[in-house]
Amino acid sequence: MKDGSFFGTLPIQATVVAGKVDLLYEFLVWLSVFFTVLVVGGMLYFAWVYRRRPGHKSTAIHGNTLIEIIWTVVPTFIVIVIFVWGWVVYKEQVTPPYNAYEIKVLGKQWSWQFIYNNGTVMTGQAYIPVNKPVKLIMTSEDVLHSFFVPNFRVKQDVVPGMYTSVWFEATIEGEHQVYCAEYCGGLHSGMLAKLIALNDENWDKFLRGKEIKLAEGNTPTTDQLASSAAKPEAVPLIERGRHLSEVKACTSCHSVDGSFKAAPSFKGLFGKSVELSSGKNVVVDDNYLRESIEKPAEKIVKGFSPVMPTYRGQLSEIEMASLIAYIRSLQ
Ligand code: CUA
299-322 pLDDT, tens digit each:
888 888 888 888 887 888 888 888
Nearest C-alpha neighbor of 325 from the set 241, 267, 256, 246: 241
Is it the case that residue 34 has pLDDT exceeding 80?
Answer: yes
Q: How far is the CA of 141 from the centre of ligand 1 (A)?
A: 12
**Would you say 173 and 11 are in contact if contact means Cβ atoms under 8 Å apart?**
no
**Which atom of ligand 1 is found nearest the CA of 107?**
1
Q: What is the pTM of this model?
A: 0.77
Res 223: pLDDT: 46
Angle between helices 237-247 and 317-329 (to 10 degrees): 100
Which protein residue has the closest C-alpha to ligand 1 atom 1?
145
Bridge-based pairing of strands 101-108 and 134-140 is parallel
Q: Where are the alpha helices (DSSP H) in 95-247?
A: 200-207, 222-228, 237-247
Q: How far is the CA of 30 from the centre of ligand 1 (A)?
A: 33
Q: How far is the CA of 218 from the centre of ligand 1 (A)?
A: 26
134-152 pLDDT, tens digit each:
999 999 988 999 999 999 9
Q: Using a 6 Å CB cutoff, which residues line ligand 1?
A: 107, 110, 145, 180, 182-184, 188, 191
Q: How far is the CA of 183 from the centre of ligand 1 (A)?
A: 5
Q: Which segment, 170-174, 230-234, 292-296, is predicted with the most confidence on average?
A: 170-174
Res 204: pLDDT: 87
Q: How far is the CA of 153 from the centre of ligand 1 (A)?
A: 18
Res 208: pLDDT: 80
